[in-house]
Amino acid sequence: MVAVLAALASAFCFALGAALQHREALVVPSAHVADVRLLWKLCHRPWWLAGTVADLGSMSLHILALSLGTLALVQPLGVTGLVFAIPLAAVLRRQRIRRLDILAAVGVVGGLIALLKSLPSNASAGVPSVWSVVWMVAGVLAAVTALTFGAHLAPGRPRALLLAGAAGTAFGLTAVLVRTLLISVRQPASGPVVIAVSVAIALLGPYGYLLLQGAYRAGHFAASIAATTVLNPLVAVVAGGLLLHERLPTGPGHLSVIGGAVLVICGGVALLVRSPAILSLAPVEEHPTQEDGARPHVVEMAGARADSE
């Protein structure tokens, strides 16, 4: 129960940080995808820093949840970040929440309850070898790099989706590595694994955070947060099963319930990302010749355009 509550609180903090950071990322000039200078510019904006504080709280609560529960139990609860983002975005933008949004949120929560009841809650897991960690990190980094390269060539919403997908993939493996670290430090003769995992976390965590800010800056908040919150648990559960050998359900009954719950969750998410309360400002128009101190033009979406997001 504590693991579930910590994971839910973490998802709320993530949604709060996303809502605060997205608006700031839109108005900071940066002409390149995954530009490290973007973070430096954002550090000078108070609301973005407030979002970072919320993210730090989210990470702390997430680590607590991972220390008490399996990846299969903790990671799917991150999808509730999208549910929390609806009222938060509505408050920030002074908009009303539609009844359809409430029904979609109820569907997501109901699907999650069914999903969690079908997933194992036993926290036992094995300690991987150093080479297993290295190969897993290399494979995920290759996938993240490919998505980032694709984002460099794509405009608008495709760019936001690719960057958010890359961030969600990086965050998913980072969660697995954090759980690996929590398990390994309790085992004797696990020094090499601890070092390898710590280095990988130090690389993947900040890189994923940078990619997420780039996704926010592309202007499509709904698409970005949906791609991140959905890919994160998928990558984490699969990687956790491969790397930590965490037990996953295999019986036809459990698999049927899981399949139905996933469909309900995906349907609810699809409705939520079309909510006017979560649809963002229009994408920033790129001006390569613009000086760093200049403020890009940001246009508020009209109601009709918001509904077509």
Q: Which residues of 241-271 are buried (b: 16+ CB within 10 A; e: fewer)?
A: bebbebebeeeeeeeebbeebbebbbebbeb
pTM (two decimals): 0.74
Instruction: State the 10-residue block means of pLDDT for the chain, 309 residues long.
Output: 87 86 71 67 84 90 86 81 77 74 81 74 71 92 92 81 91 91 82 90 91 80 78 84 75 76 81 66 43 41 39
pLDDT of residue 302: 35
DSSP 3-state of 36 = helix
Angstrom distance (rounded) from CA 147 to CA 171: 14
Tokens found for residue 189? 């003769």
pLDDT of residue 226: 78
Residue 200, Cβ density class (10 Å: 0-12 exposed, 13-18 middle, ≥19 buried): buried
**Chain centroid to CA 32:** 21
